[in-house]
A and B are shown apart, each in its own frame.
Chain A
Amino acid sequence: AQSVTQPDIHITVSEGASLELRCNYSYGATPYLFWYVQSPGQGLQLLLKYFSGDTLVQGIKGFEAEFKRSQSSFNLRKPSVHWSDAAEYFCAVGANFGNEKLTFGTGTRLTIIP
């Protein structure tokens, strides 16, 4: 069965600083990988996804993520954060067949300080 680990429960960064959120997955084959963002009290919005091909994936809002098979990682990055990026971020993994179920990590809460 697939699983996702987000080791950082809460991260605080200054506005304008760079950001990296960690995600490690466990899956027996090449996974489908995703990052979602959730604003307080809201549903989730897809930031980016990786299916195959180029291991560096560009997403919305200036985010990118890099798939590293050797490290079983799919870390999310942004070169310069904005106050509006404060939210909870979820990494997810899906099997590359079947009913498209996603397994989510426990999330990382991002706080931005001025």
Chain B
Amino acid sequence: SQTIHQWPATLVQPVGSPLSLECTVEGTSNPNLYWYRQAAGRGLQLLFYSVGIGQISSEVPQNLSASRPQDRQFILSSKKLLLSDSGFYLCAWGVNYGYTFGSGTRLTVV
């Protein structure tokens, strides 16, 4: 069966520090992968999606970046975090629009 792993579950980082969130998928190959952010009291905002290794599309201009070094690995990064980067980050993979979400990372930038 397909599973998706996302870590860490919670993270507190100072402003200006770097960020790396990792997401891996098991049990499927060549999935479409997505990073969403959920800010407090708001819906989900699509940040990046990838249809294959090294293929990244950005939806929202920001100081975040994403990479897909392997078929089933999707990484969200930042060189310098801003306060506004705080939120709940969700990784998802999708086949035929059936999204499976990870359990999320709660990021607090202080």
Q: Do the two chains bind?
A: yes
State the A residues within 8 Å of B (CB).
6, 32, 34, 36, 41-46, 49, 51, 90, 94, 99-107
**Nearest-Cβ distance from residue A81 to partner chain B, whole angstroms:** 22
Enumerate B33-85 residues with CB–CB distance to A below 8 Å: 34, 36, 42-44, 46, 49, 51, 57, 59
Q: How many A-B residue pairs have CB under 8 A?
A: 54
Main secondary structure of the interface of B (DSSP, over half): strand
State whether A90 and B103 are in contact (beta carbons under 8 Å apart), knowing that A99-B51, A99-B57, A101-B49 are contacts in the complex.
Answer: no
Q: Which residue of B lies closest to A49 (CB)?
A: B97
Report the Cα distance A106→B38, complex, angstroms: 9
Q: How large is the interface on B (under 10, 10 to 19, 20 to 34, 35 or more residues)?
A: 20 to 34
Report chain B residues within 8 Å CB of A45. 101
Q: What are 9 A-B contacts with C-beta separation under 8 Å? A: A41-B104, A43-B90, A44-B101, A90-B43, A90-B44, A99-B49, A102-B97, A104-B43, A106-B43
Q: How far is the CA of A79 from the CA of B12 in the complex (A)?
A: 42
Tell me which of A6, A32, A44, A46 contacts B90 (CB under 8 A). A44
Check A100–B32 contact: CB distance below 8 A: yes
Per the bound structure, the CA–CA distance linking A90 and B36 in Å amounts to 13
